[in-house]
Amino acid sequence: MSIDQTSQPVKPLRIAVLVSGSGSNLQVLIDAMQAGALPIEIVGVISNRDDAYAVTRAKDAGIEVAVLSHVESGKRMGIKTFEKHATAQLEAWQPDLVVLAGFMRVLSADFIDNAPAPMINLHPSLLPAYKGLDTHTRVLCSGEREHGCSIHVVTAELDAGQVLSQAVLPIRHTDTPDSLQKRVQVLEHQLLPWTILQIAIGGVSLTPSEQASSILPALPLRLLIDA
Ligand code: GRF
């Protein structure tokens, strides 16, 4: 069991994770949960792809998985249908926090506003710069000197919610989109669990009113990581 700064036991944060791909970030959370290194309980994983390796990772860890990829006729599930099933699933799991970790569908304002828990997203750029896709290529083409990743609150506007935390690296003259992707992923694997730990122990708040009245450092919190 984890202990906060006042030595009180921390109630595990119930987390639902939405994924679309490899799930390496999900694996980091699974490993930390199983090691007792993070006060979380992953109550379920939702994937919009049946071929996502994240599904295998979740099942191997004995975590409940909902794959919402196709309708009965075999067609790919439309976003409205996905959201209807995802809402029902989240309501059943009752998470405290929904984590989008490599989840590659754009969610509607209606779904986000009515979600049963706050949502955070992991994005591979130093927001507000480079919202959207292909961030590593765009960063290199623009001649940036720094790059990294951000965790932000999910709002209806894409990649535009309050940025909670960022991890930063210096771009090397030898970097390619592929090398940057790998280096940023090293950052992601530290930023995501660290940020969730901050949320769990009250080191960062998700609501604007609490953020405004907080004695804690102004957001985003920034980590400099050598990757
Ligand atoms: C991450 O690199 C994230 O930045 C992007 O999708 C990737 C997900 O990786 N949005 P994984 O599925 O956690 O391995």
Q: Which of 70-84, 124-138, 209-223 tops mean pLDDT?
A: 124-138
Position in ligand 1 atom list of the atom nearest CA 22: 12
Averaged pLDDT for residues 209-217: 81
Using the predicted structure, report yes or no on whether residue 179 has a pLDDT greater than 80: yes
Distances (CA, A) of 169 to 145, 172, 183, 190, 227: 9, 9, 8, 13, 7
Split into its structural domains, the chain has a count of 2
DSSP 8-class letter at 75 = P
- pLDDT for 6: 55
Rounded Cα distance between 94 and 11, Å, is 15
pTM for the whole structure: 0.93
Averaged pLDDT for residues 128-153: 97
CATH number of 208's domain: 3.40.50.170
Say if residues 128 and 163 touch (Cβ distance below 8 Å): yes
Q: Is 121 annotated as a binding residue?
A: yes
How does pLDDT run across 6-58, given as a tens digit for each residue?
556 678 999 999 999 999 999 999 999 999 999 999 999 999 999 999 999 99
Structure tokens at 36: 């007792």
User: What is the residue-averaged pLDDT of the chain?
Assistant: 94
Residue 4 lies in a domain: no
Residue ranges making up the domain that contains 78: 12-117
Using the predicted structure, report yes or no on whether residue 3 has a pLDDT greater than 50: no
**113 shares its domain with 146:** no
- pLDDT for 210: 82
Residue closest by Cα to atom 6 of ligand 1: 102
- pLDDT for 215: 83
Say if residues 127 and 163 touch (Cβ distance below 8 Å): yes
* Sign of the torsion angle spanned by Cα atoms 185, 189, 194, 200: positive
Q: Is 148 annotated as a binding residue?
A: no
Residue 90 lies in a domain: yes
- pLDDT for 198: 95
Residue 101 lies in a domain: yes
Residue 6 lies in a domain: no
- pLDDT for 46: 98
- pLDDT for 7: 57
**22 shares its domain with 93:** yes
Averaged pLDDT for residues 210-220: 84
The answer to whether the CB of 185 is under 6 A from ligand 1 is yes
Residue 28 half-sphere exposure, CB side, CA atoms within 13 Å? Answer: 19
